[in-house]
Amino acid sequence: MLAYILQRIIRVIPQLLLISILAFIIIQLPPGDIVTRQIERLQASGVTVSEAQAQALIRQYGMDRPMYQRYLLWISKIITKFDFGYSYTFEKPVAQVIMERMGYTFAIALFAHIFTWTVAIPIGIYVAVKQYSITDYIVTLVTFVGLAVPAFFLAMIIMYIALTRFGIRTGGLFSQEYMVLPWSWGKFVDLLKHMWLPIILLGTGGVAGTIRTMRAMMLDELRKQYVTVARAKGLSEFSVIVRYPARLAINPILSSVMWLLPPAVSSWRSSSTCKRPARRYTLRCGIRICIWPARIF
């Protein structure tokens, strides 16, 4: 088993290198570069940049070198120093930005998976037992609608209902008064008040597919001979369902848990609540809602 794990890890290394090369090349393809943008930013702030200063910036960022040398310099800093460069959007090192958000990302992804399983697995078992019933048809319709509705649209609806009906502001992960404060019990409670929206949104995206998978697996197991034997022995229907087919039908879902992580992590832009709404419109009722998410957690 250990040899198999090591073999899989070794196979991942060239794949990561290839992905990094492709990502670096794609970043270099658009016109302009970081030096030009930096000079434009300085000039916009009223700072005059001389030719000598521009050349110094070019040497500082390695823009006077060929692309392959810039890539080797970039990847070597990542491997040896965990240095991804400097983010001018957040005005801090990229590694620091990643570490600040990694904990929140994995926490929300984890709770979103728990929400998905908690909702989808019981429903999938129930509709499989009640196949072709009115409940089965309703759940099927709802799951298909859930797969079709974009996450950002669902986010705006939930934010609007939470604000207008319950007076809850769900933008960002913290309220304004807790964003710069150190961790405390009050800040933790405030985090829980804002975390439920992205958890529901990310979890809802997986509920529909998990229900369909659980239903299909349960139907396959319910038709097998051991279920008939268990019923013939006089076991209650609940014991027959939970102790035998449900335990076997849930295995494919649990074994595919890692498949849910890439969509959960990569779908923040479409499903996260707005941290800094870029545009606001005032409705007739006087409530302001954001039109599209501009800044992610």
Cα separation of 40 and 47, whole Å? 10
Q: Is the pLDDT of residue 154 over 50?
A: yes
| Each residue's pLDDT tens digit, 190-217 | 888 778 777 887 777 778 888 888 999 9
Question: What per-residue confidence (pLDDT) applies to 170?
Answer: 63
Cα separation of 123 and 140, whole Å? 11
Cα separation of 13 and 74, whole Å? 17
| Each residue's pLDDT tens digit, 109-150 | 788 888 888 999 999 999 999 888 998 899 888 888 877 777
Domain with CATH 1.10.3720.10 in the chain: 95-290
Cα separation of 57 and 70, whole Å? 14
Question: What per-residue confidence (pLDDT) applies to 202?
Answer: 75
Average of pLDDT values for 41-59? 79
- Between these two residues, 67 and 295, which has the higher pLDDT value? 67
Kindly report the average pLDDT of the chain as a whole number.
77
Q: Within a 13 Å sphere around the CA of 286, how many CA atoms are in the beta-carbon half?
A: 0
Question: What per-residue confidence (pLDDT) applies to 265?
Answer: 57
Pure H helices in 45-184: 51-60, 67-81, 94-129, 134-148, 151-166
Question: What per-residue confidence (pLDDT) applies to 40?
Answer: 79
Contact 62, 33 (CB under 8 A): no
Query: Which residues is 87 bridged to in the sheet?
Result: 92
Confidence class of residue 18 from pLDDT cuts 50, 70 and 90?
very high
Cα separation of 45 and 167, whole Å? 40
Average of pLDDT values for 235-244? 86
Looking at CATH, the fold of the domain delimited by 95-290 is given as MetI-like fold (1.10.3720)
